[in-house]
Structure 1
Amino acid sequence: MLKMKSMPFAIASVIASGALFATPAFAQQDGQNIQRVVVTGSLISRTDTETTAPVQVLTAADIQKSGKTSVAELLTDLAANGAGTLGTGFAGAFANGATGVSLRGLTVGATLVLIDGHRMASYPLSDDSQRSFVDVSSIPFDAIESIEILKSGASSLYGSDAIAGVVNIKLKKNLTGTRLGAETGNTQHGGGKTHRASFSTGFGDLDTDGYNAYVTAEWRRQGGIKMSDREMFQWDNADWRSRGGNNLTLGVPTSLNGKLTAASVPFLYNPAGTNPAGVANVDNPANYQFLTSDCDFVKYRAGACAVRNTFSYIAPPTENVNVMAGFTKKLAGDWELGLKASMFQRNSINNRGANPLAYNPTTFGGTTSYWNGVLTSGIGRVASTLIPATASFNKLGAAARMYGYVPGVDPTITRDNTSKSTRFAADLKGNAFGWDINAAAGLTKVALDIDYSGYLDRSALYAAINAYGANPNDPNGWNPAGGNSPALVDKISPRFSNHMESKLNYVDVVGSRELMQLGAGPLALAVGAHWHKREQNAPPSEMSRIGRTGNTDAFVIGKETNSAVFAELQATPIKNLELDFSSRYDHYDTYGNSFTPAAKFKWTPSQMIGFRGSYERGFRAPNPAETGNAGSFFTFNVINDPINCKGGKNTNAGSVVTGACAINPTYVQTTGGNLEPEKSNSYNFGIIIEPLKNLNASLDYYNIQVKNQIVTAAGNDPTFFPDFARGPITPVDISNGDGTSHVGLPAAGPILYAKSPYINLGGTKTSGVEADVRYRWNMGEMGTLRAGLSVNHVFSYITEAADGVTYQLAGTHGPSVVGGATGNPKDRAQFTLGWTRGPLDVTGTMNYVSDFSSLDPSVGGTDCASTAGDVGGRNFFQNLVQPGNYCHVASFTTTNLNVQYKLSKNLTLKGSILNLFDRQPPIDVSTYGNAGAQTAYNASLHQAGAIGRFYSLGLNYTF
């Protein structure tokens, strides 16, 4: 049987073997007038699309045949997309709802996304509150002409952020005729119902009429998929006892929660109640009072008062409305003016907090607010949340704790995000004084409006509870069991909104010409200048700023201005040898200057084989989130409270039972005043072969080293010791070491937070190879067969810590601190096989992700037998020995099928099945993308498995 890990290489062998049956032929020009084009990664037009750097091109036809319904889904499957990618299923992300690309696994901040070769405003919420990126989920299918993925650094031409490569999304330039499209789809296992409709129309011929005008519009709605829709699968099952772990089902008492946890019905517990011989307080039914008859002590202990997770999304519901208009006009001479205006709007509902909101059993330490460099903690602190013995609903005769979920309030923290991207662009091209001139200017903006629900004003809540306890008829009193008025619910759980914006305005001018004949070809020169002004205005919501409901968002307020000049020189000094030199000088008003040169070559000793290579320097400028008025609250890997968690277990004598062991402490991210840009050096070497007609392949080696990385001190600088701010010491449950506990005063108050600044520290070095094979076979009356294979293999991914210690993270879960714990598999591959005969077109696409370790050595995950491997900070195996099989994430392969049939000249029927074989995602205990929801799959790599088999059917009509 063929092993899955050898799948990509087996596919390559099959293609190569099948090609041997074709008739050999050299690659030849057919004598026709071939149009010169500018390919991403160069400023100089050319006829040969095989450039000195590897560029993958997805045409509009490729996109339509993928079976996908969004650009986000399409780019997520790129073989070159690696660790740190941001997908729509990544519910734990700061920028949840948006999608970013991470080429070479160097995070979304190191991949530059362009629209028509120009910069676009970033998403107002940065990834991990730090990394700027362009949200590709808002770009519509029908507006795209092609997508070019440059898989090498390109700072010498494009400037900052192009360390790992460039994704250039080219929108339609002109369109004639009218096209109508409609599509609907659904998942096999429930949820995710999708509808899509599109309309495009254009008129005017550039050659005959001298102009073209068009408009295209698209609407797409995708229903949400909740955890309850997939609870039949192991990765969505919170009860891990049969797998050697803990039962994490909400509402089930276990040793992890001290047998006291919020259940489906609120209840009171008397911690000072009777304690018969041999029976701990917590095990005595007499110390409990359930506030409704739906649950009692027997049911509670049996797990019959568990809470079904019907509120957390595996895939959030989204709706897109997109409109774009274009106008192109031929002017006098060879000049041409192009104008585009677009509005892409995406709405999504995300619930980053995955658990319902619970009452505080003993105290509430208050919220923490960080704004304008001022940190204020303890806002709205409630010194005691104990229900007094005199309360009308307390029948225990003593002050009691209250456990339960707050009824009537949205079950989780929910964000209704509406992102609106607007772009106005003008492009002018022509010829003057022997130069080909391309000038462009654009105004781009992304506005984000968020409606919040599911937050609590806890000081108001407990004031209302006390009012009800004193007088059940008080209109301002809160009945903990439910039945409260909508007005009172709105008072203790206010709904509020926030508006954020990101703007980027640019001007680009490029001139190119052939200077002279030099050797075997022309010496071509391109020179240009770039200017952009960027503003990010993403303040905290008012409720967050005053600390009434706790922190809701990271905030960024800042701006930058960049001016740059650049040049490219291309020559063919001897036959078949192409040389390319480029350099760029940037000035940023935030830190200073950067100079980034590059040198490339391509040598084709014969028409069957060619070689290419490059050396490039790159940089990433500190962005407003790192240098402006910015801040956020974050957590990363698990630690034990050095004071209150004795010996690393909550069952050891003297340990605080809950909230001290295996915790994710909160850090307050502060900005740095003297940050330098990240800098990179990259090398690429490749082979291009075309041994047979219609068969071409390339194999490229890459080596990228990034230094001076901008990281947060916590978890990166070993000399950084957090100065934890703690709350007041209050009575808590303390373990006796024998399975029982007592109420007492701990040695220190609970950890509230610690500050962590941005610093320049350490680096990353990654290397690997990427193979790309394309074959087309004309079988005569049997039709045309086409095949394509793209494979990325990572040789090495090394991070360097401040003390000089390096960690090899290829094939592991690292780097979880800067990459979102998205996993770092060594191999990714995409294989497409298509067949066209007459009106029928069938395309199959196989996407493969190799296996990898669930450990991250860079944060101490080196031992499979301990919870050190659970870098995601979840409690699957807390206080237990983690089985070795959960230190490994299995490989994952999905297959998509797309069929198109032309019913007539104008009407096309389309049907697709995504995840044809309904492959479920492999278990991953370490990713924290859905940590709060306690799902055990990797949403960045294996989201297609969580969605399951998806069917769609559509029609397109053109006239």
Structure 2
Amino acid sequence: MKYAKLSYLIAGALAVPSALMTHSTFAQEASVEAEETIQVVGSRLSVRTATDGSAPVDIISGEDLAASGITETARALQYAVPSFNFPTSSITDGSDAVRPASLRGLSPDHTLVLINGKRRHSSALVHLNGTTGRGSSNVDLNAIPISSIKRIEVLRDGAAALYGSDAIAGVINIVLKDQSEGGSITANAGQTYIGDGDQYKVHGNTGFALGDDGSLMLAFEYHHKNKTNRAGPDPRQQYELINGEEDPREETFNRLSHHVGDASFENKAIFFNANMAAGNEGELYAFGGYSDRTSQSGAFYRRALDNRNLTEVYPDGYLPLLTPETSDFSVVGGYKFLLADWNVDASVGMGTSEFQYRLENSLNASFGPSTPTEFDAGTLELNEVNASVDVQRFFPFVNNSDLSVAFGLSYRENTYKISAGEPASYENGGYDGRPGGSQGFTGFKPESEVDESRDNVGLYVELENMLTTQFQWGAAVRYEDYSDFGNNTSWKISGRYDVTDQFAIRATANTGFRAPSVQQIYFTNISTLFVNRNGELVPEQSGTFNNISPVAQALQLGALQPEESQSLSFGLVWSGDDGLSVTVDAFQIDIDDRIILSSSLIPSDSPAVAAALAAAGADNARFFINAVDTSSRGVDVVATQEFDVGSSLLKTQLAYGYNKTEVDGVNLPTILDGLEDKLFDNVEQTRMTRSVPRHSGSLSFTSIVEDFETRLGFNYFGDYMLENNAGLQTEFSGKWVVDFSVKYKMDDNLSFNVGVQNLLDEYPDKQDPSNQFNGIFMYPNTNAPFGFNGGYYYGEVTYSF
């Protein structure tokens, strides 16, 4: 029996919430059921139909992802799964290059990402500056080219008992293409209505036969995108007065000096997926890939009169440009074989994420006119090694049923490194009392350098059984032992009962955990951030300190501990004879001791804080702490149906997701001078509970008439709220975004697709005038759910062979 280590069996194709795309996956799955067993995340039982399972899964085909015309993998997934959030951010340092993504309104690091059922490494970057998921790290989904993806399976249920840490909100499993022949190549180009953000992308894949039954798939991507800019004009005085009079250059200065919009980037990626027969019913397999992205985004503009500028270098001021280079590499190899009646899967894999901070069009004002204008500001690097052995077989069980017994052993090692930047990026040269360090992002100092690792061992057992033709159940337990904080045990039970051939109920209960990431344990840096002080954005040397730093030890913060969760879900499944499919799944997720990046402490808070900050050379300090208990509740609804309209086919889908997170308790560590309440202020509470839309949904239609395929999608992004450091809360209303495309298939090889995203040119609500920084930040620049670029049109051509 062909075996794949995957996870929860689920109402597969029935639960596909494609926002831009219709439920073509459902038709595809149904057409191949008779000849292909499809196993999806969450179970080792064979999927007999697309809607069997005890927990909800969305299955999005690679064809649907590509047909959307969306060029980024994470953005395409956001439009396909309403409970998946991928907001746009700008002027948020490294987060402009690797943006946070989350599931069910929880933190980005509460979702586990797999490729072909194997754990994917996260990004080395830590989100620091005001975005959703501040203080977290997530997998960079955009490092995986759409052209390599066969399908994406999104399990909307806890799965720590199967996979270990991180699988609290759910699991995203990316299944790579595996064809042994043929392929395709696509060229795509487009731009916004305004005329910026122009991009072009060339991507494709091909397959080769390996031996009698094996295959090798190769996929590539080259993607170039120019920036968008929705900044307002800067009305401020730019130049020093001349004899008390305004400098004449004020009249000719280009007031559109800031860059508030998407970063420009160039992305290159190549992936492979290979397998071949070996031994008696055995299979060798390997997959992996490499991606490299160079992006460019702006910081705050430094005016000519600013003491962070040198008029000898930039007479009119300058916009520091962050141009980080991010690279991801991964490779996994394994062997599946039969040992007696046991299916064995032994594998080992490694992954590396590197984030190198670079700056252009900058300077170090403290070096005087001889300052460099380009800097290497340091590098973050995460390395991960995973090794596992998974074993499964069936035993005869009661009522003439089979009991699936699976168990496995895993080992993981994580290493985190911070390398200091070049001295000019952080030193103070003493010139004219000017601030030191590269402007836009201060380089990592030698004191920030770390090279630390931790490892853990996991052991799990899982039982599954189809007790009758109507009832199936499952149970799993997992034990993990970590080298840095100890051990954890998690469990899961699940069940499904088919009341009739058309109607079923399903439910799960589980516990989970998330170990503090090595990024959260070891990251430390001092950089220049703009902080709202009495309504003005003021530059400060803001320190992010790990819990082993002298500052944290002086304040007696203590060590990080794992987050722990308890989850319940209950669902209804309807599969009508007329092709109508409906799933409704409600959930509750309680998380204790959530890790946050705290609010900032400043010298005026207490003498102890002032002394600790003075010793560290920072104006304020923030820390990673276990601080908050939360509860998240919600419901997901998906309905699909196909209609035969004469000689044409109409596919329809309605998808809706609701989630609400509340703070149940704040359990801040006891620190010096009773400053606990300052570590989790209203800004952070609002960000945790309201910065993600509670309501999201989609209604989509696909019509296929002969050689034409027309797609129309209505996508809803609900209201959300942000709060600034001055205490201003702003609620942004929900918006509908309409997408439309037409595809013409000229012949079996050549097809053309033209489309419009955000057809009606919808923008988020504008910010409150008092939060626009002199009218420059018209739109929310940290958490805009569908961005603030307006309408976008594109065209593409695909050649299949």
TM-score strictly above 0.5? yes
In the TM superposition, residue 334 of structure 1 has moved relative to its aligned partner by: 1.0
For residue 555 of structure 2, what is the aligned residue in structure 1? none
Q: Residue 162 of structure 2 aligns to a residue in which SS?
A: helix
In the TM superposition, residue 39 of structure 1 has moved relative to its aligned partner by: 1.3
- CA distance in structure 1 between the partners assigned to 2:653 and 2:306 by the alignment: 57
For residue 836 of structure 1, what is the aligned residue in structure 2? 704
Equivalent of residue 294 in structure 1, options 246, 249, 259: 249
Q: Which amino acid is the alignment partner of residue 287 of structure 1?
A: G
1:105 and 2:105 aligned: yes
- CA distance in structure 1 between the partners assigned to 2:546 and 2:668 by the alignment: 22
Is 1:161–1:619's contact at 8 Å kept on the other side of the alignment? Answer: yes
For residue 301 of structure 2, what is the aligned residue in structure 1? 355
Equivalent of residue 737 in structure 2, options 869, 885, 894: 894
In the TM superposition, residue 723 of structure 1 has moved relative to its aligned partner by: 5.3
Equivalent of residue 63 in structure 1, options 62, 65, 69: 65
Equivalent of residue 442 in structure 2, options 552, 558, 564: 552
Question: Can you give the 5+ residue segments of structure 2 that lack an aligned partner in the other structure?
Answer: 1-14, 19-28, 129-133, 429-435, 549-557, 670-680
For residue 568 of structure 1, what is the aligned residue in structure 2? 462
For residue 21 of structure 2, what is the aligned residue in structure 1? none
For residue 158 of structure 2, what is the aligned residue in structure 1? 153
Distance 1:939 1:311, change over 3 A: closer
For residue 273 of structure 2, what is the aligned residue in structure 1? 326
- CA distance in structure 2 between the partners assigned to 1:755 and 1:620 by the alignment: 25
Q: Residue 77 of structure 1 aligns to a residue in which SS?
A: helix
Deviates more, 1:589-598 or 1:336-345: 336-345
Which of the two has greater strand per residue? 2
1:186 and 2:132 aligned: no
Q: Residue 594 of structure 1 aligns to a residue in which SS?
A: strand
Matches within 5 A, 1:772-851: 772-781=638-647, 783-802=648-667, 816=684, 819=687, 823-851=691-719
Distance 1:702 1:113, change over 3 A: same
In the TM superposition, residue 771 of structure 1 has moved relative to its aligned partner by: 0.5
In the TM superposition, residue 687 of structure 1 has moved relative to its aligned partner by: 0.6
- CA distance in structure 2 between the partners assigned to 1:204 and 1:536 by the alignment: 39
Is 1:413–1:454's contact at 8 Å kept on the other side of the alignment? Answer: yes
Q: Residue 447 of structure 1 aligns to a residue in which SS?
A: strand
Deviates more, 1:144-153 or 1:619-628: 619-628
For residue 251 of structure 1, what is the aligned residue in structure 2? 236
Q: Residue 651 of structure 2 aligns to a residue in which SS?
A: strand
1:603 and 2:497 aligned: yes
Q: Residue 142 of structure 1 aligns to a residue in which SS?
A: helix
For residue 748 of structure 2, what is the aligned residue in structure 1? 905
Distance 1:108 1:795, change over 3 A: closer
In the TM superposition, residue 123 of structure 1 has moved relative to its aligned partner by: 1.3
- CA distance in structure 2 between the partners assigned to 1:907 and 1:413 by the alignment: 45
- CA distance in structure 2 between the partners assigned to 1:31 and 1:541 by the alignment: 54
In the TM superposition, residue 785 of structure 1 has moved relative to its aligned partner by: 1.0
1:509 and 2:389 aligned: yes
In the TM superposition, residue 561 of structure 1 has moved relative to its aligned partner by: 0.9
Q: Residue 561 of structure 2 aligns to a residue in which SS?
A: coil
Equivalent of residue 414 in structure 2, options 526, 534, 546: 534
Is 2:363–2:372's contact at 8 Å kept on the other side of the alignment? Answer: yes
In the TM superposition, residue 889 of structure 1 has moved relative to its aligned partner by: 1.5
Distance 1:634 1:339, change over 3 A: same
1:96 and 2:96 aligned: yes
In the TM superposition, residue 81 of structure 1 has moved relative to its aligned partner by: 4.1
Q: Which amino acid is the alignment partner of residue 698 of structure 2?
A: Q
For residue 48 of structure 2, what is the aligned residue in structure 1? 47
For residue 7 of structure 2, what is the aligned residue in structure 1? none
For residue 764 of structure 2, what is the aligned residue in structure 1? 921
Q: Which amino acid is the alignment partner of residue 329 of structure 1?
A: M
- CA distance in structure 1 between the partners assigned to 2:304 and 2:706 by the alignment: 62
Is 1:322–1:342's contact at 8 Å kept on the other side of the alignment? Answer: yes
- CA distance in structure 1 between the partners assigned to 2:32 and 2:412 by the alignment: 42
C-alpha deviations, 1:617-638, integer Å up to 9, x for none? Answer: 1111112223236345586974
- CA distance in structure 1 between the partners assigned to 2:35 and 2:793 by the alignment: 41
In the TM superposition, residue 759 of structure 1 has moved relative to its aligned partner by: 2.5
C-alpha deviations, 1:393-440, integer Å up to 9, x for none? Answer: xxxxxxxxx998962698222221222211212132232210122222
- CA distance in structure 2 between the partners assigned to 1:522 and 1:821 by the alignment: 44
- CA distance in structure 2 between the partners assigned to 1:675 and 1:294 by the alignment: 54
- CA distance in structure 1 between the partners assigned to 2:598 and 2:770 by the alignment: 21
For residue 753 of structure 1, what is the aligned residue in structure 2? 619
For residue 398 of structure 2, what is the aligned residue in structure 1? 518
Q: Which amino acid is the alignment partner of residue 158 of structure 1?
A: Y
Q: Which amino acid is the alignment partner of residue 552 of structure 1?
A: T
In the TM superposition, residue 64 of structure 1 has moved relative to its aligned partner by: 2.0
In the TM superposition, residue 915 of structure 1 has moved relative to its aligned partner by: 0.8
- CA distance in structure 1 between the partners assigned to 2:364 and 2:667 by the alignment: 41
Is 1:176–1:202's contact at 8 Å kept on the other side of the alignment? Answer: yes
Q: Which amino acid is the alignment partner of residue 499 of structure 2?
A: P
In the TM superposition, residue 616 of structure 1 has moved relative to its aligned partner by: 1.0
Q: Residue 200 of structure 1 aligns to a residue in which SS?
A: strand
Q: Residue 788 of structure 2 aligns to a residue in which SS?
A: helix
Task: Provide the TM-score with structure 2 as the length reference.
Answer: 0.83
Distance 1:403 1:221, change over 3 A: closer
Equivalent of residue 593 in structure 1, options 475, 480, 487: 487
Q: Which amino acid is the alignment partner of residue 171 of structure 1?
A: L
Distance 1:818 1:172, change over 3 A: farther
Distance 1:34 1:100, change over 3 A: farther
Is 1:516–1:524's contact at 8 Å kept on the other side of the alignment? Answer: no
Distance 1:35 1:638, change over 3 A: same
- CA distance in structure 2 between the partners assigned to 1:549 and 1:60 by the alignment: 45
- CA distance in structure 1 between the partners assigned to 2:76 and 2:221 by the alignment: 17
- CA distance in structure 2 between the partners assigned to 1:494 and 1:46 by the alignment: 56
Matches within 5 A, 1:72-151: 72-77=74-79, 79-81=81-83, 87=87, 89-92=89-92, 94-128=94-128, 130-151=135-156
Q: Residue 393 of structure 2 aligns to a residue in which SS?
A: strand
Is 1:356–1:405's contact at 8 Å kept on the other side of the alignment? Answer: no
Distance 1:52 1:632, change over 3 A: farther
Question: Can you give the 5+ residue segments of structure 1 that lack an aligned partner in the other structure?
Answer: 1-11, 16-27, 228-235, 239-248, 253-262, 269-285, 296-303, 365-401, 465-487, 641-648, 650-657, 729-750, 805-812, 860-866, 871-886
Equivalent of residue 290 in structure 2, options 315, 336, 343: 343
- CA distance in structure 2 between the partners assigned to 1:513 and 1:826 by the alignment: 42
- CA distance in structure 1 between the partners assigned to 2:774 and 2:352 by the alignment: 32
CA RMSD of aligned residues (A): 3.7
In the TM superposition, residue 923 of structure 1 has moved relative to its aligned partner by: 1.9
Q: Residue 102 of structure 2 aligns to a residue in which SS?
A: coil
For residue 207 of structure 2, what is the aligned residue in structure 1? 202
1:676 and 2:561 aligned: yes
1:162 and 2:167 aligned: yes
Q: Residue 692 of structure 1 aligns to a residue in which SS?
A: coil
Equivalent of residue 345 in structure 2, options 418, 435, 438: 438
- CA distance in structure 2 between the partners assigned to 1:110 and 1:305 by the alignment: 50
Distance 1:410 1:855, change over 3 A: closer
Query: Quick one: percent identity of the two aligned structures?
Result: 20
Is 1:226–1:315's contact at 8 Å kept on the other side of the alignment? Answer: yes
C-alpha deviations, 1:909-934, integer Å up to 9, x for none? Answer: 11121111111222244999x97994
C-alpha deviations, 1:821-853, integer Å up to 9, x for none? Answer: 982322111222111122111112221112345
For residue 427 of structure 1, what is the aligned residue in structure 2? 334
In the TM superposition, residue 40 of structure 1 has moved relative to its aligned partner by: 0.8
C-alpha deviations, 1:703-758, integer Å up to 9, x for none? Answer: 011111222443699x9868554999xxxxxxxxxxxxxxxxxxxxxx96233333
1:710 and 2:595 aligned: yes
Structure showing greater radius of gyration is 1
Equivalent of residue 768 in structure 1, options 634, 657, 670: 634
In the TM superposition, residue 501 of structure 1 has moved relative to its aligned partner by: 2.1
Is 2:87–2:786's contact at 8 Å kept on the other side of the alignment? Answer: no
For residue 452 of structure 1, what is the aligned residue in structure 2? 359
